[in-house]
A and B are shown apart, each in its own frame.
Chain A
Amino acid sequence: MSNNEFDVIIIGGGIIGTATGYYLLKLNQRVLLLEKDYIGAGSTGRCIGGIRAQFSTDATIKVAMESVRLFERMEQEFGFSVDWYPSGYLFLSFTEQQNKTFLNVMKIQHSFGLEIRFLEPNDIKKQFPYLNIDGVSGGAFCPTDGQADPFLVLKGYIWGMKKMGSTFLKGAEVIAIEQGRNGTFKVISHNNEQFFAPKVLNAAGPDAYNVGKMIGLELPVEPERHESLITEGLEYMKMPMIVDYRPDGCYFVQRLTGQIIGCYTPEQRVPGKNIDSTFEFLTEMPRRMIRLIPFLENLAVLRQWAGSYTMTPDGSPIVDETSVPGYYVSIAMCGHGFMLGPALGKYMAEFMVNQKWLFDMGEFAFNRNFQATAEAMK
């Protein structure tokens, strides 16, 4: 093989590209990772680091549970801590209808052995005394969910890839992909460098649509803006990720390093790649946080920013080989790339090498009906 030929070319240096690359290298593949900016410049480096297995459909729950196992073992795997901590996820319901959804979904979750409890408002007050439970009608709490530091996890994968001899180019934007008669892909970067491989993985996050277009695919994916902020630190109090399901709700967690970090989903979607931060978010988010935990009012905000959730019509990612043989996608994580990424990376690497999934991944299929039921625990 010459030095511009590989087994797999990965486009995108976020959690998906690096985790998949890491596991491909473990399967002795020659991997090239092309990142147009720097590692973590897209969605992963902007996410708040929550990790949960509280989903509502079989494959997503299985993938998420495997991810939790991988996060638990990362310190051993990488040789340094990634600030993983099982601080749990607490979903708060404010209506009887929402309670019913929690209880229905819990049946599926329990069938996979997930330890999730339904909490009455009084149990919530007892377990999390700092919470204002006005209007709360119940909660779903999973103590094995948790958090980790996205930057440290990326560092683990990328340094691991380098140790295993992977080629990795940053500042290398892909501008064209061509497929030859023998099926080999020619990937051309902005400075007209050419790379060849029989398999390409689109892991381009918010740019997934454009990278699909290069091979003639119209992928049903679109990024939308989500904003975040982080406060100064306070003593670690094992606060779970608190998810307030009201239309004007929010979600936030205390990082292991003490800061409170959180977001809310805007009532009006903000599609597109614009990731400017807004004054509206900076003033509205504190109101929503104080409403849930009054004592937070004295904490200072350090910084606000925004990132992209790349979405599909049904709220589930697309992780599959496409109608172009040899062209794979692991895209549109719908806001769950960091938490699903390690397991999806592992499974995708095995799929690319062995050509079969370990279990039914139909809900992530390229050819599925995108108008069918949506994920209930978004």
Chain B
Amino acid sequence: MIEEDTIICRCEDLTYKDVLDAIEMGMTTVTEIKKTIRAGMGPCQGRTCGRLIAQIVSQKTGKPMGEVWNTSHRPPLKTVPLKILAGGESEQ
């Protein structure tokens, strides 16, 4: 069962209640929730929590998943150390 204190975004330590509060304040897409409470901005970049948050928003707003899950996908697709990007060393 999902409780108010269930962790939804573990990188930023956000609970189900935090997400509900943001929706209550009028945030109706995953991007807006991300930019209000930092959900999905940690090391996983929303790969773990994005779908969960989209489900919650979809459920609460009655809008389809495809409409609320509007976050942009940006490079790098996986985290890469600076030294590799700078060209000094190759990844083992």
Can you name the residue of chain B whose Cβ is closest to the Cβ of A44? B35
A131 at interface by CB-CB < 8 Å: no
Q: How far is the CB of B80 from chain A (nearest CB, A)?
A: 6
B38 at interface by CB-CB < 8 Å: yes
Which residues of A sit under 8 angstroms from B38, Cβ to Cβ?
Answer: 149, 151
Q: Are B82 and A304 within 8 A (Cβ)?
A: no
Q: Are A151 and B85 within 8 A (Cβ)?
A: no
Q: Per DSSP, are chain B's interface residues mostly helix, strand or loop, or mixed?
A: loop
- A45, A170, A285, A302: the one within 8 Å of B79 (CB): A302
Known: A277-B74, A279-B75, A302-B43. A45 touches B35 (CB 8 A): yes
**Which chain B residues numbered 1 to 45 have a C-beta less than 8 Å away from chain A?**
25-26, 29, 31-32, 35-38, 42-43, 45
Which residues of A sit under 8 angstroms from B31, Cβ to Cβ?
Answer: 38
**Which chain A residues numbered 299 to 326 have a C-beta less than 8 Å away from chain B?**
299-305
Cα distance A231–B72 in the bound complex, in angstroms? 18
Can you name the residue of chain B whose Cβ is closest to the Cβ of A230? B41
Pick from A15-23, A59-67, A286-294 the stretch touching chain B. A286-294
Q: How far is the CB of B84 from chain A (nearest CB, A)?
A: 8
Q: Are B35 and A231 within 8 A (Cβ)?
A: no
Which residues of B sit under 8 angstroms from A279, Cβ to Cβ?
Answer: 75
Known: A45-B35, A151-B36, A162-B25. A301 touches B83 (CB 8 A): no
Cα distance A142–B72 in the bound complex, in angstroms? 36
Known: A40-B35, A45-B35, A151-B35. A287 touches B87 (CB 8 A): yes
- B37, B76, B82: the one within 8 Å of A298 (CB): B82
Cα distance A39–B33 in the bound complex, in angstroms? 11
Count residues of chain A with CB under 8 A from any CB of chain B: 33
Can you name the residue of chain B whose Cβ is closest to the Cβ of A155? B36
Which residues of B sit under 8 angstroms from A40, Cβ to Cβ?
Answer: 35
A282 at interface by CB-CB < 8 Å: yes
Q: How far is the CB of A362 from chain B (nearest CB, A)?
A: 35
Which residues of B sit under 8 angstroms from A286, Cβ to Cβ?
Answer: 82-83, 85-86
A85 at interface by CB-CB < 8 Å: no
Q: Which of B26, B29, B88 has the most CB of A within 10 A?
A: B26
A283 at interface by CB-CB < 8 Å: yes
Q: How far is the CB of A125 from chain B (nearest CB, A)?
A: 22
Q: Are B86 and A283 within 8 A (Cβ)?
A: yes
Can you name the residue of chain B whose Cβ is closest to the Cβ of A291? B86
Q: Are A290 and B82 within 8 A (Cβ)?
A: yes
Can you name the residue of chain A whose Cβ is closest to the Cβ of B25? A159
Which residues of B sit under 8 angstroms from A155, Cβ to Cβ?
Answer: 36-37
Cα distance A67–B86 in the bound complex, in angstroms? 36
B66 at interface by CB-CB < 8 Å: no
B62 at interface by CB-CB < 8 Å: no
Q: How far is the CB of B85 from chain A (nearest CB, A)?
A: 4
Q: How far is the CB of B40 from chain A (nearest CB, A)?
A: 10
Cα distance A282–B35 in the bound complex, in angstroms? 22
Which residues of A sit under 8 angstroms from B37, Cβ to Cβ?
Answer: 151, 155
- B residues bordering A, Cβ < 8 Å? 25-26, 29, 31-32, 35-38, 42-43, 45, 72, 74-76, 79-83, 85-88
A to B CB contacts below 8 Å, 12 in the list: A38-B32, A39-B32, A151-B38, A162-B25, A232-B43, A277-B74, A283-B87, A286-B83, A287-B86, A296-B82, A297-B82, A304-B74
- A residues bordering B, Cβ < 8 Å? 38-40, 45, 149, 151, 154-155, 159, 162, 170, 231-233, 277, 279, 282-283, 285-287, 289-290, 296-305
Task: A286-B83, A298-B83 are known; give 19 further A-B pairs, CB within 8 A.
Answer: A38-B29, A38-B31, A45-B35, A162-B25, A162-B26, A277-B74, A277-B75, A279-B75, A282-B85, A283-B86, A290-B83, A298-B82, A299-B81, A300-B81, A301-B81, A302-B42, A303-B45, A303-B76, A305-B74
